[in-house]
Amino acid sequence: MFVTPEFESLRSAVAGATEADVRRALESIRPGERDLAALLSPAAEPFLAAMASRSAAATGQRFGKTIQIYAPLYVSNLCANRCLYCGFSAENRIDRRALSLDEAEAEAVLLQKRGFNHLLLVSGEAPAVGVEYLEALALRLRDRFAAISIEVQPLETEGYARLFRAGITGVAVYQETYDRVTYGRMHPAGPKSDYVYRLATPARGAAAGLREVGIGFLLGLSDWRAEGLAVGLHLAWLRKAFWRTAFTVSFPRMRPAAGGFQPPQPVNERQLTQLLFALRIFDPDLGLVLSTREDARYRDGMIGLGPTRYSAGSCTAPGGYGSPDGSAGEQFSVGDHRSIDEVCAAIRAKGFDPVRKDWDAVFQQTAA
């Protein structure tokens, strides 16, 4: 089992890095954990352009000039947890909605018509959206989408295995914060208050045979540098234990949400960028995901520098694709409001290929 090192030790590892450490890290052929700490440190800030260069080179070599496109599909905002920062917290008075299988399928078909082939099913943590529901939904959707991931409450290994057999290809589960003290404060009640169970979740997903596992933390809850080191260590551990699994890291950065939560340690754009570059340099094979929390200007600027996957045309309220003026509560406010076509055009304008069309689907079309 992965055990997070003492958060204080992660903080000092990052704080203690010197300019010499940063230079060494930038030039290392096989950066290690000490190099990651250096790249996350304050000493690395003046080197952002050099980090961008190294990150761009590594990304291009491994991923070519492509950005994968996906859409999140929120199937429910019912939630038993009371996470201080989340729009779906049980504390918040928002319109609650859980889509029926038919409704969820209708939303998915809408997304498919818009050109999406990669789907991320998202829900709050509620009995209504358990393994049975997700399994049934996966079976309905598996022939329409090349990849279907889930970002839902932690499941048991057998749950993930069932979903894998039903057509789910990936799971995303963020530790939110690797800082135990902050974790306890942020998740006072509900199943999510169990830090250890959540921490072991990516491993369960990988053990169940899911092809892709996504991890990450919420930027703004605790010291982002120490969190970055923690996620890097978590990733290295997972890679060793599950060599057949592909991994991604996402960078959800606190944005306004119902409840007016103020992130205790807000992360600015340059810091998000440094974090992203550091992880890319540390792990050239890692998928890096930027959602629509970030605005168009930032996401366009980052094309080619590190990220490999973008969501587009996102709606974080259940049923929002079919009924954009619907009243169901959002998880967070979107920063990039562009449609999939607009995002793809922007990607192409930078000389990159937005990957949304599945090879199989194209093949089936031409064969028909």
Partner 1 sequence: MLTIAGREFRSRLFGGTGKFASAEVMRDALVASGTEMVTVALRRVDLADPADDIMRVLDRERYLLLPNTSGARDAREAIRLAHLARAAGGTPWLKLEVTPDPRTLLPDPVETLKATEELVKDGFIVLPYMNADPILALRLQDAGAAAVMPLGSPIGTNQGIVTAFQVRIIIEQARVPVVVDAGLGAPSHAAQAMEMGADAVLVNTAIAVSGDPVRMARAFAMAVAAGRDAYEAGLGEARENAAASSPETGLDFLR
Name the site residues for partner 1 (rule: CB under 8 A).
26-30, 48-50, 52-54, 56-57, 60, 240-241, 243, 268-270, 273, 297-298, 300-301, 304-305, 350
Could you tell me the smallest distance in angstroms from the CB atom of residue 224 to partner 1?
Answer: 16
DSSP 8-state secondary structure symbol assigned to residue 358:
-
Could you tell me the smallest distance in angstroms from the CB atom of residue 37 to partner 1?
Answer: 15
Work out the end-to-end distance of the chain between its first and last CA atoms, rounded to an integer number of angstroms: 49
Residues 6+ apart with CB under 8 A from 274: 39, 40, 44, 45, 48, 51
Nearer to partner 1 by Cβ, of 304 and 329: the residue is 304
Nearer to partner 1 by Cβ, of 306 and 320: the residue is 306
Nearer to partner 1 by Cβ, of 16 and 191: the residue is 16
Nearer to partner 1 by Cβ, of 123 and 271: the residue is 271
DSSP three-state, residue 322:
coil
Nearer to partner 1 by Cβ, of 116 and 251: the residue is 251
Could you tell me the smallest distance in angstroms from the CB atom of residue 298 to partner 1?
Answer: 7
CA angle 329, 331, 337 (to 5 degrees): 95
Name the token pair of 72. 């999140």
Instruction: Name the pairing type of β-strands 212-216 and 353-355.
Output: unpaired
DSSP 8-state secondary structure symbol assigned to residue 149:
E
Per DSSP, the chain holds a count of helices (H) and strands (E) of 15, 9
DSSP three-state, residue 135:
helix
Could you tell me the smallest distance in angstroms from the CB atom of residue 9 to partner 1?
Answer: 20
Could you tell me the smallest distance in angstroms from the CB atom of residue 239 to partner 1?
Answer: 8
Could you tell me the smallest distance in angstroms from the CB atom of residue 56 to partner 1?
Answer: 5
Nearer to partner 1 by Cβ, of 113 and 240: the residue is 240
Query: Please, which residues bridge with residue 289 across strands?
Result: 250, 309
- Residue 100 near residue 51, CB atoms below 8 Å: no
Nearer to partner 1 by Cβ, of 150 and 334: the residue is 334
Nearer to partner 1 by Cβ, of 49 and 367: the residue is 49
| Residue bearing tokens 């992880």 | 279
CB atoms within 10 A of CB 115: 17
Distance CA 299, CA 343 (A): 9
- Taking the CA atoms of 150, 151, 152 and 158 in sequence, report the sign of the dihedral they define: positive
Distance CA 196, CA 132 (A): 25
Nearer to partner 1 by Cβ, of 115 and 237: the residue is 237
Could you tell me the smallest distance in angstroms from the CB atom of residue 313 to partner 1?
Answer: 22
Nearest to 50 by CA among 305, 351, 288: 305
Could you tell me the smallest distance in angstroms from the CB atom of residue 299 to partner 1?
Answer: 10
Could you tell me the smallest distance in angstroms from the CB atom of residue 50 to partner 1?
Answer: 6
128-149 burial string, b = 16+ CB within 10 Å, else e?
ebebebbbebbebbeebbbbbb
